[in-house]
Amino acid sequence: MPCDALSKQFPLDPSAARARLERHVAFLAFDKGIAVTVVIASDGPALNDGPHVRRIELRNGTDETFVQVDHDTLTGSDQVFCTLVLPKLDEAIIRLAGE
């Protein structure tokens, strides 16, 4: 899936960020021949005014793994998302696929 700028307004609202995440996960999972569900959770409060961390849980049947991403990166520009988040998602999906 190309990481062209799809939206001009950043940060994305939570529903748009979730839709972008799910779209990319679906593409990566399809490419590996598996189905993956996504759950986004808060990984606890920020410490000392640090970033809010989101836990992206990826499940393929009974197998699961997760990726941690700070909120600003998750809702940031497509370039930031594709550079910092997509490689982590791809690695996690490869683990789920057993490759």
Report yes or no on whether pTM surpasses 0.75.
yes
**Angle made by CA atoms 55, 60, 66, in degrees to the nearest 5:** 20
Summarised one tens digit per residue, pLDDT across range 18-49 is 999 999 999 999 999 999 999 998 766 666 67
* CATH code for the part of the protein at 14-97: 3.90.930
Q: How far is CA 30 from CA 5, 19, 26, 89, 93, in A?
A: 22, 16, 6, 13, 10
Tokens 């939206």 belong to residue = 7
Parse the chain into domains and list their residue ranges. 14-97
Contact between residue 69 and residue 53 where contact means Cβ atoms under 8 Å apart: yes
